[in-house]
Structure 1
């Protein structure tokens, strides 16, 4: 423990200049696969050949490193990216180094039991699929499933006023989730396939995938700083960020007559546990994309959601959108409002939204149109963002992060439309990534400079930070984290002054999947890092 703490303190004091990060900031969509490629692209000529053949760990000549780094730093300064590079991205290096040194303990035996149970479920679902189809076929094969659904059962002929999706290249009937959702009321087989796919993904990705990365009783993910154009971090071995937030209930309904239904709840996050005497603590930015959308659009109705908040933001949003009191909302209205907002933020098209909501494409379009009619400044923001991107060729986040979108001027409508969605998506998501990184940097700085705090940042999952905290420090550290993250409404050094407050929910527990919210009293501002 003393060795780890000493190593973290040493890392925290490091200042590292990484040309790969500089190159990524300049062009986040075009990662150089190796240093030689980076030098060639940004320095304008190949790296000097070494005197001896390069081994896997032998460095290139120092002159190439210096020359390409100077070239990159000059470009950062001329493009207004130096402050983002120096105060945020370079400061993230020791944070991620410390995260990778921390072990996250796993209940390995529980994972094995869950894997075995899911394997049995898959075999049962295969048998039920064969009975429902009246023949044997490979359930995981889209080609064989297409033959059963559309040539043997001819379910497409029973779709009244429904436009089933087709494959992109060959324009065949699709067996995608969106297609199966539209078919599930016509025959038992589509519902069985949907459940089979859910169970298969749970087993292969979230259970067996974690098991393959367990070392004794722990895992330690690799964190990548330069893999996402939005500025977000990514994780691998395992992909910690892909684990579902909510438990997944696998309805083991027996589609064969005479059998009772069975329900199995699987929650991979419950398999992660803190060390003895420590507690997991999670801090989550609440509705951060919606808050950023309110700030960026200055829409008075969206601003009112956060300047005069009620108990549930998305219920208030649905009430505004539908123009009815909250008590008169239909059960699905809140979820529809939430999905429509995020479809705009994440660039989902109306076809995709129809699949998410389980409605027709026409109805999804009506929902979006009525939403934009209600929140007129959102449409204005979308138009301004696209027009500015068409003019200058790139968009920026609230902290100055850039993304070039050369296809924004494409003559191909589909290509141009995708670039337009990416432009809007980047401004919101890139800004959310900026806020989360700044939170990580400030909290890491507070902990590493403290003589008493021992908390460890284990993971970042989009807008959530996961810590391991000594039991005796949970309440104090929770208050410090909440105050620090909410103070990011104003960041003077980067010129950030949000029009709406940030809200952070803090929870704790003995397993990552079983956390309870901590209700903390108002705290004073955090000390300067």
Structure 2
């Protein structure tokens, strides 16, 4: 096997570790948050690499000091960078000790930056024919990418090659240094050429080939400001080119063969962990002792909420100061304020930031007076604020923290700002405490901070007197908005440390967190809707409703309000004398769907027609009428909003409008999907997992017959019919299908009897026979119920915890209900995790195949919907199928194949 060298940017790891955890101390009372974070990150990296195509050689590279040859070349280089936080500096040598404790080479060299040392080792290894991976997402290191060398971005779990560089910067790696020289770098104080950003720099290099050619052609550039800036700052550009050029020819501090991986001997690591008092990591190593160390320390006490201390930022100097604070802190909480809950239609009104507990500000950008004659308050322009915030929001070394960040990502993206990297406190809470409470900011603040947030209605009012946020006076707006950012930062400091301690890192980092920008882009894209078709259906449904209403009244012998349960109950059970009715506590007759289906099954024609009337009325009011109002007048599309932290099993939910509840089992319901169409020249692809929950049940319960059937493509319901009834026909297959799904939902013999139309004894006999033929299912159910009774939660294959507190309920009904939920939750939750992973990988996979025009529009349970040029259907179908079929890998390797059914058409109805 060829040698594969991994070079870890240790300096980048340090700052990521420091800003991911709140202030902690070790057993000696010394600062240790960065040490703890760095140790867990390096451990995870080594574990992940060991399970994948592990490295043959590896080293961690650090900056030796802040002064290098670049400071001699330009004394202002990195001059604006603040010194490291006082509590971080003493952790630097301990972090080096942590690397050595893993028996991994730790390399640094005076006069060179870590990037230069990495470049020297990378070039030397490539010259020997080795493969090289640099563990970093630093744009400067992207210059090194060539065949045989890539970057591994562990924060976003992706590989960066030449294609990703072209996608991000518009030029290949060999031209990236010229682009960086032109655009400069405000963080490192590389001057560049004023007025030249990334896009302009890329265009210039694309056109002229390199920096010197650009400068030579400056006189002929048509844009006057750009031309003059290039002429005036040519020397600065040339110096910038040398500042960003990586040194790659210095002698190596340690020979390549000394970087060989020998595994991680436990004893040096154990001694280090015991000295630091990292009890949870000792447990992971398998060596925790009763007196090893105290529990991990808690975040230091935080200041009280003092709203008058929040700052309203209305001038550039103040904004610059806050941005500098954010860079110095390395992490910043951010929140946007708008004039509408619909982020596609909303106007950005202001932005709030928080850099430390109690230290927050509000930057108004579109506030006006409350009234026609009121004067707008003094505030910075949207262009100024976003122009200054863009480098901060896009800087890979600064963590951005949000609460339900999807909304904010969309607002920023609408204005050309791509926020990365990020954490979302709503998702942190969701992945830690699903089932234990809501995950909105107000709920989390009460639960974790004992703080009641200012209510929106307090500042904007309610009812007819309500105003939009852009009309709120700045003092009140600042208290409300800055508090949001302050609360978000404090919640992050409480929740983020729990991820590793409570085994939630995997689902957060591999499933939920990377999904946020994917969903944001889907919501922005929306799906085209044929208004005329919806109007036609509304009219047709309206006629059908009138016809059914007349028939119901004729059968009843009287006119009444069919939509009134009270009037309908009286007609059915008193006027018509139908038997078996039951009254509720209010004394009114029950007319719910169960009761009406019972009556219909007993031959009451009126009950069937009332059910049809209800369905038609719901389809008209909820979909064909309402969807017309949801069409965005600017895009002609419907932009549904996905909730990422509502369904306890991890599933996404769709609202405003809800596109996941459009009925598809009835012909009339399917017709609504025909109104969802592709744009001109495009088609829709519907890709749907086939029987994914049954496949997962076969894997998770380890059922040989089911696993073999799925591997061979056998019809699973026919197999069950053979096992239970000894023969396969339409009736036995239908009954087997009902049983297959019912068992996975923990159905009782009473419930199965009702579904199959048989008595309880027969239903119980079928359940017993099912467990006899598939004992793995019975074992899985028993083990799952035992787990939820003992721990109060069950888990998916990806480690998502699904808490079911009702398992400790006071009544038998509560406890049995929790048990039924527990049986299906791991299966349904794993299914949700898998389709989320497919969604996260879909964009990069399509882009890598040259299919950047394919857009993912909708996720509906086990189905994904795409819009794409018709000419790309074959190529896209192959990528979509492979991405979905392999979505669980490499984290989970299933014993059964995942089947994907794909349809193509001009509208959603025909595609599905």
Instruction: Settle same-fold status: TM greater than 0.5.
Output: yes
Larger relative contact order (Cα-Cα within 8 Å, sequence gap ≥ 6): 1
Matched, 1:408 2:798: no
Structure-2 residue corresponding to 1:227:
646
- Deviation larger for 273-282 or 403-412: 403-412
Structure-1 residue corresponding to 2:374:
none
Task: Label 1:483 to 1:128 Cα distance change in 2 as closer, same or farther (>3 A).
Answer: same
Matched, 1:488 2:884: no
Matched, 1:204 2:600: no
1:290 aligned to which of 687, 691, 694: 694
CA distance in 1, matches of 2:433, 2:630: 32
Q: Superposition RMSD on alpha carbons, in Å? A: 3.2
2:790 aligned to which of 391, 395, 410: 391
Structure-2 residue corresponding to 1:501:
897
Task: Label 1:94 to 1:86 Cα distance change in 2 as closer, same or farther (>3 A).
Answer: same
1:109-134 CA-to-partner distances (Å, cap 9, x unmatched) read 11111111111111111111111112
CA distance in 2, matches of 1:359, 1:91: 48
Structure-2 residue corresponding to 1:260:
none
| Structure 1 unaligned blocks of 5 or more | 158-163, 250-264, 517-529
Task: Label 1:323 to 1:271 Cα distance change in 2 as closer, same or farther (>3 A).
Answer: same
Task: Label 1:75 to 1:464 Cα distance change in 2 as closer, same or farther (>3 A).
Answer: same
1:189 aligned to which of 602, 606, 610: 606
The Cα of 1:241 is off from its aligned counterpart by 0.9
CA distance in 2, matches of 1:201, 1:186: 24
1:392-433 CA-to-partner distances (Å, cap 9, x unmatched) read 111111100011112213341101111101111211111110
2:534 aligned to which of 102, 111, 129: 111
Secondary structure of 2:497's aligned partner: helix
CA distance in 2, matches of 1:124, 1:307: 50
2:493 aligned to which of 59, 62, 70: 70
Matched, 1:218 2:621: no
CA distance in 1, matches of 2:613, 2:770: 35
Structure-2 residue corresponding to 1:29:
435
| Structure 2 unaligned blocks of 5 or more | 1-198, 200-343, 345-411, 460-473
CA distance in 1, matches of 2:599, 2:775: 36
| 1:229-308 alignment runs, 5 A limit | 229-249=648-668, 267-308=671-712
Matched, 1:377 2:377: no
Number of matched pairs: 484
Task: Label 1:14 to 1:346 Cα distance change in 2 as closer, same or farther (>3 A).
Answer: farther
CA distance in 1, matches of 2:711, 2:758: 33
CA distance in 2, matches of 1:172, 1:366: 38
- Deviation larger for 399-408 or 212-221: 212-221
Task: Label 1:38 to 1:7 Cα distance change in 2 as closer, same or farther (>3 A).
Answer: closer
Given that residues 15 and 90 in structure 1 are in contact (C-alpha distance below 8 angstroms), is that contact kept between their aligned partners in structure 2?
A: no
Given that residues 518 and 840 in structure 2 are in contact (C-alpha distance below 8 angstroms), is that contact kept between their aligned partners in structure 1?
A: yes
Matched, 1:179 2:592: no
1:319-340 CA-to-partner distances (Å, cap 9, x unmatched) read 233222x3xx2x2322222222
Task: Label 1:418 to 1:117 Cα distance change in 2 as closer, same or farther (>3 A).
Answer: same
Structure-2 residue corresponding to 1:469:
868
CA distance in 2, matches of 1:220, 1:290: 32
1:455-486 CA-to-partner distances (Å, cap 9, x unmatched) read 10101011111011111111001101111111
CA distance in 1, matches of 2:670, 2:809: 45
Structure-1 residue corresponding to 2:716:
313
CA distance in 2, matches of 1:505, 1:9: 37
The Cα of 1:227 is off from its aligned counterpart by 1.3
CA distance in 2, matches of 1:171, 1:83: 52
Using structure 2 for the length normalisation, give the TM-score. 0.50
The Cα of 1:234 is off from its aligned counterpart by 0.8
Secondary structure of 1:507's aligned partner: strand
The Cα of 1:490 is off from its aligned counterpart by 3.1
Matched, 1:512 2:908: yes
Secondary structure of 1:390's aligned partner: helix
The Cα of 1:58 is off from its aligned counterpart by 1.6
Structure-2 residue corresponding to 1:133:
556
CA distance in 2, matches of 1:241, 1:442: 22
- Deviation larger for 468-477 or 365-374: 365-374
Given that residues 408 and 416 in structure 1 are in contact (C-alpha distance below 8 angstroms), is that contact kept between their aligned partners in structure 2?
A: yes
Secondary structure of 1:135's aligned partner: coil
Secondary structure of 2:579's aligned partner: helix
CA distance in 2, matches of 1:335, 1:52: 65
Matched, 1:93 2:519: no
- Deviation larger for 447-456 or 481-490: 447-456
1:59-82 CA-to-partner distances (Å, cap 9, x unmatched) read 327554333212101122211001
1:336-369 CA-to-partner distances (Å, cap 9, x unmatched) read 2222222233455555555544555665555444
The Cα of 1:489 is off from its aligned counterpart by 4.7
The Cα of 1:439 is off from its aligned counterpart by 0.5
CA distance in 1, matches of 2:825, 2:417: 31
The Cα of 1:270 is off from its aligned counterpart by 0.5
- Deviation larger for 343-352 or 199-208: 343-352
CA distance in 1, matches of 2:622, 2:765: 36
Given that residues 488 and 502 in structure 1 are in contact (C-alpha distance below 8 angstroms), is that contact kept between their aligned partners in structure 2?
A: no
Task: Label 1:510 to 1:177 Cα distance change in 2 as closer, same or farther (>3 A).
Answer: same
1:40 aligned to which of 446, 450, 453: 446
